[in-house]
Structure formats: C-alpha cells, structure tokens
Copies of this chain bind each other. A is one copy, B any other.
Amino acid sequence: MAQPKNIAILGASGYTGAELVRLIATHPMMDIVALSGERKAGMEMRDVFPHLRHLDLPSLVKIEDIDFTDVDLCFCALPHATSQAVIKELPKDMKVVDLSADFRLRDPEVYAKWYGGQHDALDIQAEAVYGLTEFYRDDIKNARVVAGTGCNAATGQYALRPLIAGGVIDLDDIIIDLKTGVSGAGRSLKEPFLHAELSEGAHPYAIGGTHRHLAEFDQEFSAIAGREVKVQFTPNLLPANRGIIANVYVKGDAQTIYDTLVAAYADEPFIEMLPFGTAPSTRHVRGSNYCHIGVTGDRIAGRAIVIAALDNLTKGSSGQAMQNANLMLGLPEEMGLQLAPLFP
C-alpha cells in the first residue's frame, strides 16, 4: 500500500485550520506532521479545539520551528498579507495550498486596490493557480501553489461560470443576493459576531459593491466572457454558523440556463443539480463538500434565478483545499471528501 503523504497546516488555530484537521482525520492517505499557530504555539490542539481531542496530533508550534524536509504539502490558513510573507520563505519546491486571498488575483494593482497593500511575492503570484477545482483542474494537478478562492466567490461562480461561457444570459444585468453563516468571519472577536448580536437577526453587509470577493468575480467573469463583466453583489449575514446560499438573478431563458448547468456539471463529483424549479438549502450541504444548485424561471418571461448552496468552511474553503491537494498529490480527487452532510 502506498505511503500516506505528510501534511503541514500553517494557521491551524482558526476555523479553516480546524476544518482541515477534521477532514484529514478520516482521509486514508494524509498524515498531519506539523501544525502551526503563532499566538497559541506550545498548546495542544485539543485545548484550542476540544472537538478534536480524540485525535493524536502534533502540538502547535511557530512556523520557524517546523522542519519541512519530509513535508509533502503545506496548507496555509493564515490571514492575507501574512500568508504571502510566510509562503515566500517556504522551501522553493514545497507544494502549497493557500486559503488566503493573497494569490487569487492575477493583477497586483487589483490586489492592492481591494486588499489595501502592495503585493510582496509577485513571482509566486505569477505561478499560482486559481483554486476553483472544477474549472482549473488540469492546471491544479501540475501546480506548485494553488490559491483557494473566496467562499462567496466560489458560490457565485458555480452558479454563473457555465452561463457566461455559454452566452445564455445578459452579462450586464447580474445580481447576486447571497446569505452567509458567520463562521466565514473566523474566530475573530468582533461585536457583530457575538451570539447576542447575531442570533435572531439578519442583515446585509458590505453593501454597495464593496465586498472584496467582487475582485474575484470581476477577474474570472471578465476572462470567461472576453469582455468586462461587473456583477452587483450583496452579502447578508445569517443567524447560522455554516452555509452560503446565493440567489443569482439573471436574464435569459430559464430552461436553457438549467440545461447549460446540467451539461456543465454532468460529471462533477461534488456538484449536484436539483430538479428544475427546486431550491437548495444550506442545511442540506452542511459539513460536506457538496454544492447544490437549483434553477427556476419567473412569471416575468426572460428572467431566471440560479440558486447555489454550499458550506463555506468545506466546499467554500477547507474542503476545496483538500480537493486541490488530492489533485496535486496524485490522489483520487474525491478521496476523504465524500462525507455526507450533517442533518439535522
């Protein structure tokens, strides 16, 4: 039997880090050999995340204390800006799946505009592959560095990429109204993420076209269309932990739109097309790597809604990262990722 791959996770003390550990725990061909957590260096993972206490895991250490010699692949679950600084110091042949925003945007000026700082690792940016597996699969297989997508950006792209590529919708009138659970914000201590503030509430945020994931939409949709495409995008915060659901309002023929998506995703192991006229729900993908997509028309002819739902921490982040890592390591793409959603 083949030897399991040695995995390091940098930034393991956040939610995406913990989600990687959860997934690797039952992955038959990955072993965790190093975990970093700057402020929590010296602690055991079971004290940072008691739900992982049954696992035999390495202690959290500082990145500089990791011996990368036998590491086959490194997940980097650090904040943007920190991520590029860390990755450029890693061994030059180290395979890296980065979960931050640092290598998603090909144009450094666009990066600077949305993320407010000079990019400092442009050579790595140049070689990095955008990590939306279903659309960059071949490049990812051969990539050294893969840039995980934004979780909202992934959701919107699953709904729209085949439609833009197929020329079946009006490119100048796309509205994405997206709802997201709070775990996408990470474990950060901010007032709006307190239970007492969020529970029983719902509200849009980053309104008016100011959410950073718009940069990914712009880059990807314009590249597919061969012209500038700008979508209108409003995220809303839900009183829930996991899950993203996007209502994407488009102009085009609903049945054609549905058929286009069905054809595009026919062989995809993690994209499930629902019957026409059926809406997905976040609760039906929770904790899994599956993305559910539904399409319906409207009483107004020529209008349609495409609805896509996924788990922001799994398919939108750590599950996607695992899927990409499988490809980079020559393992079956689905390995360790076929966990069924947790419901109820």
A residues contacting B by CB (< 8 A) are: 15, 18, 21-22, 25-26, 49-55, 173, 175, 177, 179, 181-183, 185, 187, 189-191, 193-205, 207-210, 214, 230, 232, 234, 236, 238-243, 245, 247, 249, 270, 272, 274, 277, 279-288, 290, 292, 296-300, 303, 305, 307, 309, 338-344
Contacts and interface: CB of A to CB of B under 8 A. Distances in A.
Contacts of A209: 298-300
B195 A245 contact: no
A185 B286 CA distance: 21
A80 to B, nearest CB: 20
A194 B187 contact: yes
Given A232-B249, A344-B196, A279 B204 contact: yes
A202 B343 contact: no
B240 A239 contact: yes
Contacts of A182: 194-196
Nearest to A240: B200
Contacts of A177: 177, 247, 249
Contact of A232 (B243, B283, B298): B298
B51 A343 contact: yes
A181 B239 CA distance: 11
Contact of A15 (B54, B296, B303, B344): B344
A202 B242 contact: no
Q: Which of A187, A198, A200, A299 has the most CB of B within 10 A?
A: A200
Nearest to A307: B204
Contact of A300 (B232, B272, B281, B342): B232
B197 A283 contact: yes
A208 to B, nearest CB: 4
Given A50-B284, A189-B194, A208-B296, 16 more contacts: A51-B340, A51-B341, A53-B274, A53-B284, A177-B247, A177-B249, A189-B189, A194-B195, A195-B199, A195-B239, A197-B283, A199-B344, A203-B245, A207-B307, A209-B298, A234-B305
Contacts of A173: 173
A284 B51 contact: yes
